[in-house]
Amino acid sequence: MAIITVQNLRKQYGDKVAVRDVSFSVEEGEIYGIVGRNGAGKTTTVECVAGLRKPDGGTIRVDADIKQQVGVQLQESIMPDKLRVGEALDLYASFYANPASVTELLDEVGLDPKVGFAKLSGGQRQRLSIALALVGNPRIAILDELTTGLDPQARRETWELISRVRDRGVTVLLVSHFMEEVERLCDRVAVIAGGAVLAVDTPAGLISRTGGVQRITFRSTVPVDSLRSLPEVHSVAVEAGHVTVTGDQNVLRAIVTALPDSAISNLKTETSSMDDAFLALTGE
């Protein structure tokens, strides 16, 4: 059953339309991604869902108490410098009718309760922010640009944390412009551009929409012009003996059939990724 339903959401700031027409629904227990470029309307959309902004049109239905049961992690939310981690969590826990255990949360996010906010690293701040979103024992967690500005190690730790959150049965609405993050975490994704939804699918579904483009790179000791006429091949580029061929799912077999074995070395294949799918969908 859908726990969040957004229909024909519209929001503008003065003359500027931030969200033109956005509809999607989130099932209970899933990690739902909202992806798009900067300025696509992602943050405005989730801020409307979180009750922070009043939509100018459309409807939003959230099957939970918006204050008590929806935890929010906002983009760039900073605590007072001298507030300690434990104090922040105790304080926010006191706001809710049925809070989570602060000790368990601290353990889960791996933070020392005695450290002041100013002394936390970027990754630790992000983990505190996630812990604050979870401290009310929410049914839904809305997480906006969770790993922006984190180093790869911190990013991976954060992803693991989110997977564990989902395992506890929390529905997660995740805003991101990191395709790797979305591919790894999300059950379903809505791609937003220009204030409207372009596509909703699983990450794998989105990738297969781009036609399963394959990219093959290799070195060749013989000319490769003959490849251009093969039906499986989309493009061939040669640079200093280094060949890049793109084509459909059968392109690899076509290449090795067309060229003598001994001519090919350093062969690598890449399947299209979420990045390619995103770029294809948003028109680049």
Partner 1 sequence: MAVTTPQVRRLTAVETKLYLREPAVVFFAVGLPIALTLILGGTIPDFTVPDPALGGLRPIDTHLPGVMIILSVLTCAFSLLPTVLVTYRERGILKRMSTTPVSPITVLGVQLTLNVAMSVLTTVLILVLANLVYDVPFPKTPLAFAGILLLGMVSSFAIGLLLAALASTSRIVQGLGMAVFFPSLFFAGMWVPHALMPDLLRTISEFTPSGAFGAALIDMLATGTAEWMNIGVMVAWGLVAGIAAVRFFRWS
List residues binding partner 1 (CB under 8 A).
50-52, 67-68, 70, 72, 74, 76-80, 82-83, 87, 90-92, 94-97, 132, 136
Backbone torsions φ then ψ of 218, nearest 5 degrees = -165, 170
Nearer to partner 1 (CB atom), residue 49 or residue 216: 49
**Residue number with CB closer to partner 1 (128 or 185):** 128
Positions of E strands within the chain: 2-13, 16-27, 31-35, 57-62, 70-73, 140-144, 171-176, 188-193, 196-201, 214-220, 233-239, 242-247, 264-271
Distance of CA 176 to the CA centre of its chain: 4
CB of 93 to partner 1, least distance (A): 9
Q: How far is the CB of 136 from partner 1 (least distance, A)?
A: 7
Residue whose tokens read 């300690």: 84
Closest CA to 217 of 191, 238, 193, 195: 238
Q: Which is nearer to partner 1, 95 or 121 (CB)?
A: 95
Whichever of 51 and 212 has its CB closer to partner 1, that residue is: 51
Nearest by Cα to 185 from 153, 158, 209, 207 = 158
What letter represents residue 72's amino acid? V
Q: Cα–Cα distance between 275 and 92 in angstroms, integer?
A: 37
Q: Which pairing describes strands 57-62 and 2-13: parallel, antiparallel, or unpaired?
A: antiparallel
Supply the minimum distance, in Å, between the C-beta of residue 5 and partner 1. Answer: 20
> In terms of CB distance, is 43 or 158 closer to partner 1?
43
CB of 60 vs partner 1, minimal distance in Å: 15
Closer to partner 1 by CB, 94 or 226: give it. Answer: 94
At closest approach, how far in Å is the CB of 132 from partner 1? 8
Could you tell me the smallest distance in angstroms from the CB atom of residue 53 to partner 1? 10
